[in-house]
Amino acid sequence: MQTRVKVPLDSDWKYVREKASRGWLFGGNSGEPVELPHCWNDTDAFQDGVDYYRGWGSYRRAFCLKEPSAPSG
């Protein structure tokens, strides 16, 4: 019987307010650290005279998956 392990995936994300390149998605340290759920319009939405951001947003997070062990017998 395999033991299931829950891994929280709501923290340690990086965010950029643009359409990210493939290079950004797979490396580098740039980006704003965020936790999920995240709202990129939290500072500009619903303000009189402020045009809130509408466009691309990119997120990334690295994690490792351990290969399951082979069943015994």
Per-residue pLDDT of the chain (73 residues; tens, 9 = 90+): 667 778 889 999 999 999 999 999 988 778 999 999 998 887 777 778 878 888 999 999 988 877 766 666 5
Residue in 62, 63, 64, 59 with CA at minimum distance from that of residue 32: 59
Residue in 7, 15, 11, 20 with CA at minimum distance from that of residue 64: 7
- Cα separation, 52 vs 41, in Å, equals 7
The whole model's pTM is what?
Answer: 0.72
Residue 23 CA: distances (Å) to CA of 17, 31, 32: 15, 13, 16
What would the two tokens of residue 36 be? 């999920």
